[in-house]
A and B are shown apart, each in its own frame.
Chain A
């Protein structure tokens, strides 16, 4: 039997970062609010209430579609997708069926350093449903509570072509898409909280065969890791079925994190007939060429191109360039540091190292860093010029971050400019040896680890301003290990 090949396509749902919901004036930001407080007659689906299209959501969708190279037809419309579920207050979802906002694009992504491209079928716009809170497990719960704060949040669906050929391509595709959405500023990329969600279609076929095999839809993957794991599981499961002479059932399966397996949810026979028809409460959308061109003109630099440019322009390592362009605010911070005169590689190291750690601990986005790019650039320049040590620089950064002070000001105020004056240094070295005679003799007799405490003692004696490199050189010379 020929070797089996996976055929994978992803459907990604991204909540849009609009101010208001898709069809009403309620806030699109719904997390952390008391249940059902972020609602109105329209998103509650009250009898008589009507939807009004959020123009900003349409613009964001078109912008995303343009960034993916899609075509924007002049005429588009909304349709009703009919099904019953308690989180769907109207009994239908307003979505787009046969005339979406955009068609036919592609997304570039990387797998193991190699660039690939995946077709995009369409990008369309719809509304999110509410959320359910079951009193226990869904099938045994005595009751479930409905919260409609999320109902009506704008949801953009990006349907990918079945162009992926292995489970490990899927998370890479999704990473690239997420990065694009972040750079467009249309989605916050949070998979855990569900503002970015991914379903996958996967089938197997003998390598070389043109026809697709039977497709299985997999849901419930809320991380890159679970996406890959679910697809790997499906490859194993479907391979086993085929290799034992069976046929794969067309069905929807859910990924169970606990079992690390996909579980059947719905067979083809149980599939819903959504009875799509044009939404009579909304007039068709006419998308003017002027709007499309205005949105096209406002597109940011594509993330992959930005990464290549920063790498080449500033001689960054590939990995550094990738990390610094992961999110637009990172790239902006980096470019601002470089513009303020920080040497690029050090700037990247300081940003990705100490600053990112501080931001993470404080749960602050780099955009809101209490140490702005210009200030960190000043600090990096001083370290590079040998005016302060790296250690002092990091300590000052911690304090500057905590107090929202300028690190350069802190250094000057405290007289932390590094001292390299020979006579002064000699005196502090002598003081250190007097304080730590045991360490001095250990080092003298070849124990390199004893040097650290001695350097520390020099810096302590100096009140932190002694140049540590010079201190260790002088210590080596004084203790007879110069040139060693």
Chain B
């Protein structure tokens, strides 16, 4: 039993009762990383000095303040695409090695404001491009439930660290499923907030119109506490919604009685593994038993979503990554005979193959003569996908589906087949195209591997997702299970 097995509210109670200090909690987290991350690879770096400094400050607040924030003294980790002032931030890429941002991302600043203690930066696919974490330029992260399997991506380090109890909660980013997929593969909760619910300021961009920061945590309540801290308007990000976040905590206890939940027919199509189907079916039975009405719905544009996503996201990538030109970031190529060759050399050496593939793809679809056929068309599909969702949300409160068609796959299984890898996100990426809210919650196991259920809510419907997710979590009752080798 480790302190990191506890939920945030349990930790908070005991911190306030002085059963242990925030410094002790941080030291335990750092100690576990030291002892156990060698076989996991979830952390790109730990930040012990920062953690202990923040923990000491948290201990003072816990002693002085009548009502310190829920996250005060809680160890967390940041996906390495989040800028942390003075702490190296690489986005999992060689080209950003040594980059120490002079500023904090808004989400980083907000968690610091609420007293959270940063223990380190989490491994991820390079610039968050990937579904398995195998695209990290530095190291693969493995699945804590089976070291021969992937943790999912791109927030694989963030998910694996929570599952292995190396951090109480972490932040990830979800562009096409990058929080929900690893959450499902690692057996933790992962929330993808609606586009604009959480500030992207200081988030190293993958695809600006799709990226959202979301929490990964052991429980729906833990995820809600982190989400409540980071969500809300930010004047530094013009794409944030001005709508107030409201009370998300209240949703957890409301239950699902009287809710109409839609099951998208297209999400249960061929390719769904039996074990996943079994877990999903039992989740459906629990929700019905709790008083929800389940109805089949149709999202007919689903089959085009993947293709549209792999046009729009790379288009934005090709532009977002242009600043990584080897002059300002990366080692530079002073011997290159010309400016153009300096760019080419630096980017060929600095970027991994998947990033180069997407930059090439994105450059192509935006090129004159191809723009209308690809980018413009993909935007039209995007509109159709969004319309599908708004139409079904007229009739149902939320949608439920498996998060992924399969549990975690084996390392190397899909690395040579980009299309198979891209299909991993088929059930998650439509929500990003539509900008709606979603989460993945652990619902059971298939052959010893965790299986998550995805809950999708309308735009700014985070409370609804948490409400349904909490009901699944109560019935599944699996969150206290710890992967072998990380228990104790």
Contacts and interface: CB of A to CB of B under 8 A. Distances in A.
Interface string A16-41: 00000000000000000000000001
Interface residues of B, number: 46
A86 interface: yes
A50 B99 contact: no
Contacts of B158: none
B204 A283 contact: no
A370 interface: no
Nearest to B339: A86
A50 B319 contact: no
B298 interface: no
B294 interface: no
A277 B329 CA distance: 25
Nearest to A42: B236
A50 B322 contact: no
B209 A273 contact: no
Determine chain A's interface SS by DSSP, over half rule. Answer: loop
A227 B260 CA distance: 70
A19 to B, nearest CB: 17
B335 interface: no
B319 A80 contact: yes
B326 to A, nearest CB: 10
Interface in A205-263: none
Interface string B318-343: 11011111011100000000011001
Interface string B65-90: 00000000000000001110000010
A84 B322 contact: yes
Interface centre among B204, B209, B235, B319 (most CB of A within 10 A): B319
Nearest to A44: B328
B328 A89 contact: yes
B96 interface: yes
Interface stretch (B6-14, B31-39, B142-150, B361-369): B361-369
A82 interface: yes
Contacts of B316: 277, 280
Interface in A54-103: 80, 82, 84, 86, 89-92
B228 interface: no
Nearest to A83: B322
A48 B315 contact: no
Contacts of A89: 323, 328
A410 interface: no
Contacts of B327: 86, 146
B237 interface: yes
A94 to B, nearest CB: 11
Interface stretch (B16-24, B180-188, B195-203, B250-258): B195-203
Contact of B83 (A48, A52, A91): A48
A47 B96 contact: yes
Contacts of A82: 318-319, 322, 366
A49 interface: yes
Interface stretch (B100-108, B117-125, B270-278, B460-468): B100-108
A86 B342 CA distance: 11
B205 interface: yes
A389 to B, nearest CB: 64
Contacts of B340: 84
Contacts of A86: 325, 327, 339
Contacts of B2: none
A92 B319 CA distance: 7
Contacts of A305: none
B238 A281 contact: yes
A151 to B, nearest CB: 12
Contacts of A48: 81-83, 101, 105, 200-205
Interface string B218-249: 00000000000000000111110000000000
A51 B207 CA distance: 15
B375 interface: yes
A47 B238 contact: no
Contact of B237 (A50, A91, A275): A50
B238 A52 contact: yes
Nearest to A46: B101
A410 B412 CA distance: 93
Contacts of B81: 48
Nearest to B363: A275
B415 interface: no
Interface in B280-331: 315-316, 318-319, 321-325, 327-329
A411 to B, nearest CB: 58
B367 A50 contact: no
A50 B96 contact: no
A53 B83 contact: no
B236 A52 contact: yes
Nearest to B235: A52
A276 B375 CA distance: 11
B208 interface: yes
B319 A275 contact: yes
B236 A50 contact: yes
B102 A92 contact: no
Interface in B441-458: none
B315 A277 contact: yes
Given A41-B101, A82-B319, A280 B238 contact: no
B238 A53 contact: yes
Nearest to B96: A47
23 contacts: A46-B83, A47-B99, A48-B82, A48-B201, A50-B200, A50-B236, A52-B235, A82-B318, A82-B322, A84-B322, A84-B343, A90-B323, A275-B318, A275-B363, A275-B367, A277-B316, A277-B319, A277-B371, A280-B208, A281-B237, A281-B239, A283-B238, A283-B239
Interface of A: 41, 45-53, 80, 82, 84, 86, 89-92, 146, 273, 275-277, 280-283
Interface of B: 81-83, 89, 91, 96, 99, 101-103, 105, 200-205, 207-209, 235-239, 315-316, 318-319, 321-325, 327-329, 339-340, 343, 363, 366-368, 371, 375
Given A47-B83, A48-B82, 20 more contacts: A46-B83, A46-B101, A46-B102, A47-B204, A47-B323, A47-B329, A50-B200, A51-B238, A52-B235, A53-B238, A80-B319, A82-B319, A82-B366, A91-B323, A91-B325, A277-B366, A277-B371, A280-B209, A281-B238, A282-B239
The 10 closest A-B pairs by CB, nearest first: A91-B322, A280-B209, A275-B366, A280-B208, A47-B204, A48-B202, A48-B83, A45-B323, A48-B204, A90-B323
